Amino acid sequence: MRTMNRVLPRLRRGVLGVLMAAVLAAPAAAQTPQAEAARQIGAWLRLMDEGQYAESWRQLATPVRGLAPAETWEATVRQARAPYPGTVRGRSVEVAEPMAQPPGAPAGEYARLRYLTAFSGGTSARETVMALKEGDAWRAVGYFIAPGERPDYGAPADAPYTAEQVAVPTPAGHTLAGTFTLPKDAAGRVPAVVLITGSGSQDRDSGIPGITGYRFFRQIADSLSRRGIAVLRLDDRGWGASGGDASRATTADLADDTRAAVAWLRARAEVDSARIGLVGHSEGGIIAPMVAADDARIAAVALLAGQGWTGRRTSDYQLRRAWTGMGMSEARMDSMKAINDPLREQQAAQVPWVRFWMDFDPAPTLRRVRVPALVLQGGTDWQVAPEQADAIAAALREGGNRDVTVRLFPGLNHLFLADPAGTPDPSTYATLPSRQVPAEVLGALADWLAERLRAP
């Protein structure tokens, strides 16, 4: 779930970004080279390589400097680059292309640059910069860094299932890349689920740069496919190997991508079309009910850290938790809220995703979900208040759903990682002792789905 406690910068699941707009889609192949933009931005990146963060901030585009103080910029970039130790050994331009004006950004000439960067510590990264031309100078308005090497999506050598790399077409015209895990030696058609990621562009494993080893959806796919359930997990639109443009997409648009994934499963000869379920994490916990409410053939939904309140109320909760953790007085929090709220509403007016998320009330949709529903929630989740699980269950039951199960896991955060203190700062997730989702969570999900989908 996106954190709305500050306009810029903020940590997104799947990629760290300092950006004026919504989500930066992974660039496609280079078009017309923007050689001068690539040269100037390359020089700007070297300032960060050398630790000259104050100077790199001074060379940001003017609108960004007005929203992200120099100290916050430095802390955010340091955290983003922490997984890539050592000095830069080399940097090459992979993409240099013009791009359309991002939603909510000032008018002007924009370019998208992507670099493959090698570090002396043995890691590599892809650095993507959105740049705006101010006079004769190209200035950064968005900076993203993600692992340079593609993760291995294959099945473990001893797995009782296969892992097929697939492409899922969508009615919008783009194709979603993903992995389909299928139990071996199944007798007849098998049940299947679609995994639905949270907010911010993510790959099919729901991995997060900077949190080494966190691959929540890979763990789920492994657990379920060992229990006889096929799993389809996908790179988000415009991310990884998937096509499409996420920058103007709302949650409702992303729900259409999930509908396409369900249609793909129904066309597979190995899958029992009457036993297809949906598993959504965070924003995926909003999308799954949107799909199930309009599709009577969905057999079950599992909502992991889903949302039962509007985004605006959730944002207020996030703010108060963060400010309370900083030791702010009530008077100070009221003053900060008076400053933040207009900025938040301005962003909502400019960015379609934010506007939809802020206004959307999940309750009416949840009341229309009639299929068995599982609600899992971490007890120290500061991004989605734990009491939202009860709000989800109440809405489901108000609509007449008689098969609703709620499980609260004390000491687990929004990522379902062990986090007893419930830190209000996602950037500290990388310091948690374990990046593996506990077997208790995976087992609860697998047991419930196996029973509801009648898996062997």
Residue 31 and residue 143: Cα distance in Å, rounded? 20
Percentage of the chain exceeding pLDDT 90: 60
The pLDDT score that the predictor gives to residue 18 is: 31
Residue 236 and residue 199: Cα distance in Å, rounded? 10
> What does each C-alpha distance from 3 to 99, 103, 426 come to in angstroms?
26, 19, 9
Which has the minimum average pLDDT: 74-78, 190-194, 320-324, 395-399?
320-324
| CA angle in degrees (0–180, nearest 5) for 173-243-430 | 145
Half-sphere exposure (Cβ direction) of 350: Cα atoms closer than 13 Å: 17
Percentage of the chain exceeding pLDDT 70: 91
Half-sphere exposure (Cβ direction) of 448: Cα atoms closer than 13 Å: 26
The pLDDT score that the predictor gives to residue 5 is: 32
Residues 90-146: tens digit of each pLDDT: 888 878 888 888 776 788 899 989 888 888 777 788 899 999 999 989 999 989 998
Paired tokens of 57:
């901030």
Indicate the pLDDT class of residue 211, thresholds 50, 70 and 90. Answer: confident
The pLDDT score that the predictor gives to residue 13 is: 33
Instruction: Decide: helix, strand or coil at residue 117.
Output: strand
Question: The whole model's pTM is what?
Answer: 0.75
- Tokens 């359930």 map to which residue? 229
Domains of the chain: 10-147 (3.10.450), 161-309+361-452 (3.40.50.1820)
